[in-house]
Each structure stands twice: as structure tokens, then as C-alpha cells.
Structure 1
């Protein structure tokens, strides 16, 4: 199933998806949260719809560098009696004093700059994952939040799902015994080869220069635009960062872990060696922590992942194994060492609950109540970047916790964001 459509194809979401215009709901003016959206083509649009489930949320502005997308979304909002102001430049939108919060749903290489600018403008922020496209960007984003003390929720909406919390509570209870290995994986059977396309002029209405932003200047390639930007190093980190931040997040959470001692990774374009993408379609990374290993693996074009699941996390203990994914969790006993736990099915919608949590904290200003704050998002994004760095260097890379850097010069070079076109990493 397409990751973008996953949210909208679940019965839990469809049951509550009647998006009545906020203006028709009885809400005290002091409780209204006016928000704008930067990037409304993919997850930004999904996040906007999740936000509109809540009567306090008012969409007053949307921004996109593709006027075709902008006009399409404006028309869709108008059908719900929502009139949003349209922007092509997010910086102009941030100058709007009526906006309390923004959703950042742009490609990964823009997250850091836009979040830092939104913090500086006094906005609260819901930023899509992965938060940054480099370790340096992750650090800059944490610093921006701390400097301006804004509410920042990272779009790892699984953090708001009850069955994920229940599964982790079971892991922390110790019933699995000594957990020595944790596996996280994403097998994406729906991902097909990306055919090579001719270089063209940007489509009419697309501000391609702004879309590139800090990324290297290149002629317009339709393969690199919109959804498929994920498979190009200039803008993202492939499946390792796209799905890895969701799943590695819970591997780390369950093991109460932060950064590994070492990482080694191997893979490549084994499934589609001649297609147009850059990032590996097949990858295995092994993270060494004190007392356990974590293994990440992904593969495109295949649905037959471990334990018969396309994605998931498995905590493998001496007494049994807990297997967890978006659909639910179960415990498979190791012979007769513990009782099995039957499949516990998911019962709620993570995106709706995640946006609810964001709005609640905007009103309470209790940042500790966020289900996925910027530090949590940064921790898992850094781990995903470590896996990609190990892959790129072809080395087993070692992490110096005191210096917060690798022991390898080659690996350390890849920690820093490479900005172009006169853009600078936020300080």
C-alpha cells in the first residue's frame, strides 16, 4: 500500500473523516488555533486534513512553490467552505501575524531552514519527518527550538497510537527476558522501478529555483520532483530515513537507547540497478549498542518481510519475541518459556491523535506533554543518518559519544549539510 494513502485507507480514519468547516463549530475565539501549511502536495496535505478534525483548528493559509498544487488544494478547501490565503513564498506567510502555527510538509532538504525561520517568527510548528537531511541539520533544529521555546511536534504519528504504547510497556516490563537483538524493517512491494526521463523545463507555475533551495543546482528532472524526491541524496535519504525514522524510533524507545557505539551497512541498487533513483533499494545496517544489536533492513519490490510483515519491529528476547507494526502487536514465545500474547489489533488513528496532542500543547504550553518533540525526532533521524553514512563510506563507523562525532574523518565529513545557492545552515 502506498505510504501516503495508508492513512486514508484505514477504517478508523474513514469513520471520522467528515471534515466540517471549522467556522460552523462552536469554539471560543480564545481557543482558536490559526495555522498555515508549507508544502501541500503530499504529507503536508495529509497533516492538514488530520488537523481539521479538531474544532479549534482553522486553516488560514497554504503555501507551495507549485502553483498547480496550490490552486488544486485551494479549490478542495473551498468545497469545505475554508478560504485560505495563498502564498508562493513561505517567508511571506510567516510574516502573517494571524498565523499561530505552521505545518511543514516540504521535501526533507527544506525542513531545517523552514523550521528555524518559523521559530524565529514566533510560530509553533508541526514538522514532517525526518526532521533533517543531515546530522548537522538535526542539531540546528533542536537548537532553534530551544532558543525560541516554541512548541515543535515531529510528524512521527505512531508515537500517539495506543497499541504502540502498549507494546513498548510490555517490552519494558521485562517479560521477554534479556533482549539481545532488535530488528526493524521496511519491505515495500508497491515500489517499482523509476523509469529514466528526459531533462525538461520546469512545468508552468513551478518555482523550481525555490524548490531546489539549498540543494545543488541541476536542470529540472521530473523524477526528482514531488514524491520521488525521496530517492535522491540531494533532498532525502531513501527508505532508511523515510520509513526508518518511524520504525527505528520504536526500536530505540523500547530499548531506552540513544546512539550506537558503531554502525556497519551494506546494500545497493540490487533490485533495479538501472532505474533513475540513487538511494539503495536493498540495505542492511547493524547498530552495536551496549548489550544488544539493532538491525535495520529494507527492500523495494518485495512484500515478504520478516514474520510475514511488510514492515515492523521485533524485540527478540530469551523468553520470546514481540513483533509490532502499524496493524498491531503479538508475542511469540520461545518454546515454553512464556505465554503467547494473541494479536492485539490497532484501534485508533495516529495522525488524528498526534495533531490533537499538538493543539493541546499549543494551548497548555507544557512542552513535556508532546508525544514526539524535536529531541525525539532528532535522535532517531541522527541514527538513520548514521546508517546511511556507514553505507556511503563502506566502513564500520565508530561513534565517540563524548565528542558527538565519528572517529572516522570520512564519516564526519558526511555529518555536515552541504548548502548551495547562498543558503546557510541556521546558527
Structure 2
């Protein structure tokens, strides 16, 4: 049985909850200590714990520690892992103490985006490999620091752009790069999701019991506690995230960059952004954006609508590779090719193709990470790929924040051309006592 098929079967065993079958538990017991990979989770509330579940579906992976600033979340996750595996991980509320562990190979970073860089660089310096959720970081400059840290300390760093492990996206990329659609003119991307509106306005409240809110804020500005800025909805505020653009946009834009002959940073970026729905909404980020990225190989056209759920081809989100012979439409559920018609030959210019029934690929992306830890190979989304994807999300967000219709990015100099306001947003300002890491 191939590693891919075996992992899919193992992952199915924990669908719907952290429960491991007797077969998988037996396989875990039979794995030699020298073949085991010991991981820790930092940020355990939502996606981070989902990624840990996929790690634990691999027989050779142990969870030796979990860290969270919310004691309620921490205790819940420690118990869930203990109940599932028979081993209770060590609990931490300070990631720096966790990174001192000697019996630790890799960390999973599932924190809000504004923490990614600090933790990832510290992990690399401590000799740990890193799986970091997307976007790679909450600023352009921090992405550079993480890329430099992974290279300097020879660490495996996998960015959570899991579409790169998905069958529909892999086959689509291969069809595009093989010339099946002819020359690609443009890549149209759309993402329409209700949650892009942000939450309704809520009053300030006291900090929930068991939460170290000052540590949760970390390098972000000091603010009074509001539930809209906490679990689940923090991404709508620039202090911690980049809204729908950096949440979904970075996934889909990565798939456009992936088919470039030589994947590159954007040079010219044209942005329209507006908050159309302002009624009783609490957010910094935008609900409506259109962005053009003129690239060497083709034009990328990104269309985002928070608060809507329908889109082209009756899909709320997707990618259309528009070629001279046909157009390929893909999302996580599969792909379909719509051929152009040759009026002279009275025939389609390419053969129609269709793939249906594909699903999420977090499990395979995690499996790739674990394999690369053991073999010391480059993962499917290494730091530079994560940096390029993040750039395509951060630059439009910066343009929207300063009201610029067009920005020109010089990737060699790592700066915007002739725009001081945009350059001021390349790096975040860390709140004391936190400082930008040095690599």
C-alpha cells in the first residue's frame, strides 16, 4: 500500500474527533523510538489542533507538548490527546519554555498571524522544524525573517498552503504547465464568503477567566478586551491578520503563482477596495476587493466579496485558468475543463476533462512535512513559496489601507517604489518588551 493511500485511511479513522482506532494505536506501538517524530503544538484552539490531529494520524508521530495562553483551551486539548493516545503531553503557557525541551523535533504554529514570525524564528534557533499556518506571517518583513531563519539554521519549514497536496490542484497545475490549455492569458480567482463581513459590533467585556490576554496580544498594540478580537474573529483586524484576503486569498493566489514558469513576486499591483456593508460591523479589513497582478506569464485577476456565497460557475470560490484552447475551473471539490470551439474544424480545441469528489488535503500536506523532517528534503510549500503567496495578499491590503490604486514593488530591494506610506507598513511595530527577532 502506498504511503498516500495508507495515510488517507489512517486520517479517516479520526474524522469527526480525536479518536485513534486499535489498528492505528497498534501501529504506533510498533514504531521504533528512533523512527518517531516528536511534535508540539503552539496555539491549540482551532486550526492548530486540526493540524495536530493529522499529525497524530501518522503512526510515527507523538505529541509531547501543547502550548496555549488560554488555560481552558490548553486543558481541553491535553486531555483529548491523552484520551486518544494514552500519553499526556506536557502543558505550557509560554512558547519559549516549550522550545527548551530537548525531546522535541518540530512545532506546529496555529496562533493568530501576528505571532507566526516570533515563534517560527525562535523555533528555528532552537533547532526545531516548523509547520506554520498560512499566511506565513502578518507582514512582508516578517516573511523575510522566517525565510532567512529556516535557511540559516537548516530547518524544514512547511507553510500551510495545503492545496499543493490536493489531487485536483496538482492535476490542474500539470495540465496547465503541459500546454493542454494552450497559452494561458489570465488566471481569474474569486472568493465569496459570508464571514468576510466580520462580526457584528459587540461591547467590551472582562477578560475570560484562565486567559493571559496580555500574552495573547504579545507584540500587537495594547487594547481593551473585546470578543470580536479574540478566538475565531481576530483576523478582521490589522493588528493580528489580513481579513479574507490573507485567509482565503493567499490559498488561491498561491495556485496561480504555482503555474508560473518561474514563480515570482508581484511587481505592479492594482487594487480596488471598499467596505460596502458598514452596518453594525466590527472590522478593519475590507469586505470587497478586486486586484490585478500583471505578471510575466499572464494576468492574475482576483475578485473578493465578503458577505456573498455565490460566484462564477455556481461556486463560492475557485480558480479559472483561461487558455487559448480552453478554460480549467478548479476548487477543492475537483476541476472541469471547458474547451474553446474551433469554428473552422467544427470541433473543440481541446478535450473536455472533469474530476469530481476530491476533498481537503491537510492530511497529505502534513504527511509531506513529516516525510521531509525524516529525509531532510524540501517540503511542498517551503518558506520562499510561502513568502511569495503572502506578498500577493499583503501588497493589496497595504494598498487598500493607504488608499493607493497602484503600488510598484521592487523585490530585490524589498521596498515599494516611491511610496513612503506603503513602505511604512512593510514591517510591524512591536509592543514592548517584544522586539523583532534577529537572524
TM > 0.5: yes
| Structure 1 unaligned residues grouped into runs of 5+ | 1-9
- Deviation of residue 214 (structure 1)? 0.5
3-state DSSP class of the match of 1:25?
A: helix
Which deviates more, 269-278 or 163-172?
Answer: 269-278
Pairwise CA distance, 1:273: 4.1
Alignment-derived partner of residue 180 in structure 1 = 185
SS of the equivalent of 2:398 reads helix
Query: In structure 1, the residue corresponding to 2:233 is in which secondary structure?
Result: helix
SS at match of 1:255: coil
Unaligned runs of 5+ in 2: 1-7, 343-347
Of 398, 403, 414, the match for 1:404: 414
Worse-matched range after superposition: 330-339 or 208-217: 330-339
Q: 1:193 to 1:112 in 2, by over 3 A?
A: closer
Query: Among 346, 352, 366, which residue is 2:363 paired with?
Result: 352
Q: What TM-score, normalized by structure 1, do the two folds share?
A: 0.93
SS at 1:372 equivalent: coil
Is 2:323 aligned against 1:317? yes
- Pick aligned residue for 1:394 from 403, 416, 431: 403
Asked if 1:267 corresponds to 2:273, the answer is yes
Aligned pair partner of 1:373 in 382, 396, 404 = 382
| Post-superposition offset of 1:54 | 0.3
How many residue pairs get aligned? The number is 416
* Alignment partners' CA distance in 2, 1:389 and 1:176: 34
Q: What is aligned with 2:102?
A: 97
Corresponding residue number in structure 1 for 2:69: 65
Residue correspondence of structure 1 range 58-207 to structure 2 within 5 A: 58-80=62-84, 81-189=86-194, 194-207=199-212
SS at 1:259's partner residue? coil
Q: Please state how far the C-alpha of 1:260 moved relative to its aligned partner.
A: 2.1
C-alpha change, 1:97 and 1:22, in structure 2 (3 Å) is farther
User: Which of 296, 315, 328 does residue 302 from structure 2 map onto?
Assistant: 296
CA deviations 1:382-413 (Å, max 9, x no partner) are: 11111111212222111224423211222111
Structure 2 CA distance for partners of 1:22 and 1:99, relative to 1, 3 Å: farther
- 1:384 maps to which of 378, 389, 393: 393
Equivalent runs, 1:219-258 vs 2, <5 Å: 219-256=224-261, 257-258=263-264
Q: Which residue of 1 aligns with 2:332?
A: 326
Q: CA deviation at 1:74?
A: 1.7
Inter-CA distance 56–291: structure 2 relative to 1 (3 Å threshold): closer
Kindly tell me: are residues 348 and 302 of structure 1, through their superposed partners in 2, closer, same or farther at Cα, counting changes over 3 Å?
closer
Normalised by the size of structure 2, how large is the TM-score?
0.90
Residues 260, 297 of structure 2: 8 Å contact kept: no
SS of aligned partner of 2:107 = strand
* Separation of aligned partners in 1, 2:91 and 2:387: 31
Q: 1:268 to 1:12 in 2, by over 3 A?
A: farther
Moved more, 59-68 or 343-352: 343-352
Q: By how many angstroms is 1:341 displaced? A: 2.5
Q: Measured at CA, do residues 55 and 281 of structure 1 come closer, stay the same or move farther in structure 2, by a change above 3 Å?
A: same
* SS of the residue 1:298 aligns to: strand
CA RMSD of aligned residues (A): 2.0
Q: Quote the offset at 1:14 in angstroms.
A: 4.0
| 1:60-81 deviations in Å (ceiling 9; x for gaps) | 1101000011111122223212
> 1:232 and 1:192 mapped to 2: Cα distance?
12
Aligned equivalents of 2:133, 2:333: Cα separation in 1: 22
Shift of residue 274 of structure 1? 3.2
Q: Are the equivalent residues in 2 in contact too, given 1:22–1:52 (CA < 8 A)?
A: no
Task: Tell me by how many angstroms 1:365 deviates.
Answer: 1.2
Determine the structure 2 residue equivalent to 1:418. 429
Write the distance in 2 (CA, Å) between the matches of 1:84 and 1:43.
Answer: 18
Stretch deviating more after TM superposition (15-24 or 313-322): 15-24
Offset at 1:190? 5.5
> Once the two structures are superposed, what CA deviation does each residue of 1:255-274 show, in whole Å capped at 9, x if it has no partner?
23312221111122213443
